């Protein structure tokens, strides 16, 4: 026997075909376009969903804070219940604790 027999091969790099080079009327190219689109769109949609969920969670927390009578910390607002006005650096009208042991 002459020659070499290949026992195994490993593909280390594969470049995809440009989408513009594929013909959507060709059944094989259409399947390739579908796979390429799915591979690129799914991560984008997942990223957008994660961002929307994070924004929604922040808005929910801000809404809950507003319902409790305190504005978001960066926008200034009423003090947290039970902390008195000392938590905001003074002012009038806050609850005060008596000094001393009693």
Q: For 35-81, how does the pLDDT look when each residue is reduced to its tens digit (9 = 90+)?
A: 989 988 999 999 999 999 999 999 999 998 888 876 555 655 555 55
Q: What's the pTM value of the predicted model, to 2 decimals? A: 0.43
What is residue 43's DSSP assignment? H
Q: Report the first-to-last Cα separation within the chain, whole angstroms.
A: 103
- Name every residue whose Cβ is closer than 8 Å to that of residue 34 and which is 6 or more positions away in sequence: none
Distance between CA atoms of residues 81 and 90, nearest Å: 15
> Of 99, 64, 66, 74, whose CA–CA distance to 84 is shortest?
99
């Amino acid at each position: 026997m002459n020659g070499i027999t290949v026992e195994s091969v490993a593909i280390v790099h594969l470049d995809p075909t440009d989408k513009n080079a594929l013909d959507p009327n060709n059944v094989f190219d259409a399947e390739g376009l579908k796979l390429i689109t799915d591979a690129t769109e799914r991560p984008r949609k997942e990223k957008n969903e994660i961002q929307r969920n994070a924004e929604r969670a922040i808005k929910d927390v801000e809404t809950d804070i507003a319902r409790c009578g305190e504005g978001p910390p960066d926008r200034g607002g009423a003090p947290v219940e039970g902390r008195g006005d000392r938590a905001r650096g003074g002012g009038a009208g806050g609850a005060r604790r008596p000094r001393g042991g009693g």
